Structure 1
């Protein structure tokens, strides 16, 4: 396995650094049902990989509410998620030591997430890894979120590393697709989840602690 031309590792955030899917689900459910939206499991699967604004727009189009604009409702969801992240234990096991080892090996470290920008420092400070990142990007500032590759191109540019010299660590199909579209090598972090299709990925790891470092040695 030759990864000798790789100079940067770019991480997704939700599901890779923090186990936050259940927190987003809870925040969205509470916010949207309070506005009269009938949140279903089926539709929640569709919105899972969207940006927060896209999710808000999705539910508004299905169940238009009155009295609050989309931006206000989006911020309500984000505030709930921040409060849950601050109080819940949601760190992905082994990710901090994995990033520390990558730094020792002189890899540049980036973050490319569909999550809103204001959530990023909350997550990274909670795990005490903010100082380990050389570049941070949110799809909030892109025209489109993942699976569009924009947020990955932006991160590579900030790192001053060519896309083909970047490794991407992703846990979702839309994220892996974004990484592949950007011309990057994709590592699927499965976290023991065998239900998802990881065929898009170049490599697959179940945990950071052992498999992650073995891949890069």
Structure 2
């Protein structure tokens, strides 16, 4: 008899493991002030959250900015963010308990984020979460960030699980689109968006306090059809800010 492949849960980091978007936005806003820009950082992240910082910054400028300069701006924003978030690092409610339950239930667990390695370490090692993840994929491991599906495709491949047996946990519109582009289901985490902002999640949750592995298995059984990505939502990265 063929062996039934396990299911996998693939977590985004920012806004999912931690509720840090207010500090991320504040760091962007301080950078914009320094650069003489008037862009509203909260509105910016509402549209583009989930993309690498250089890609987010690229959308702000009306004229092309050299990649080297964008990386310098992104590094400045990262420094500001770490200063602002240093004493606030804590997991979203119920996360550790849920991760433990998911592993006990036989789920493979991956992390798929647009953050660089040092930023991942800044969060998951400080919170002692690395032990729960079978695979960690970040910005340095892929060529194309979200809303492209590569982050989640690579994570599934490293986990050894077919995409259709993966569930992504995302807090961002573009991250949800990345999940669908990768051929996966998605659960929306509403740390920063309303439930109605998501396209077609299996479920939306404010945190992990009430979520169980059994509930996810029930939802997968009830919703075998995978959502198709929305071209309109994915194009939000090009929207005027």
Greater mean alpha carbon deviation, residues 125-134 or residues 184-193: 184-193
TM-score w.r.t. structure 2 length? Answer: 0.77
Shift of 1:63: 7.3
1:154-191: CA deviation from partner (whole Å, max 9, x where unpaired): 10111111111211111222111111121112222235
Change (3 A) 1:108 1:152: same
Shift of 1:90: 4.2
Q: Partner of 1:187: helix, strand, or coil? A: strand
Change (3 A) 1:204 1:44: closer
Q: Map 1:87-102 onto structure 2 (within 5 A).
A: 87-102=87-102
- Matched residue, 1:51: 52
Aligned-partner Cα distance in 1 for 2:29–2:120: 21
Shift of 1:196: 4.0
| Root mean square deviation of aligned Cα | 2.7
Q: Map 1:1-217 onto structure 2 (within 5 A).
A: 6-40=6-40, 42-59=43-60, 61-62=61-62, 69-191=69-191, 194=194, 196-216=196-216
Aligned-partner Cα distance in 1 for 2:46–2:198: 17
1:50-83: CA deviation from partner (whole Å, max 9, x where unpaired): 3101122233x237899x8222111111122233
In 1, are the aligned partners of 2:195 and 2:204 still within 8 Å (CA)?
Answer: no
Aligned-partner Cα distance in 2 for 1:215–1:191: 20
Shift of 1:213: 4.1
Shift of 1:209: 1.7
In 2, are the aligned partners of 1:37 and 1:63 still within 8 Å (CA)?
Answer: no
Q: Partner of 2:187: helix, strand, or coil? A: strand
Aligned length: 212
In 2, are the aligned partners of 1:53 and 1:70 still within 8 Å (CA)?
Answer: yes
In 1, are the aligned partners of 2:92 and 2:207 still within 8 Å (CA)?
Answer: no
Change (3 A) 1:203 1:33: same
List alignment gaps of at least 5 residues for structure 1: none
In 2, are the aligned partners of 1:50 and 1:114 still within 8 Å (CA)?
Answer: yes
List alignment gaps of at least 5 residues for structure 2: 218-241
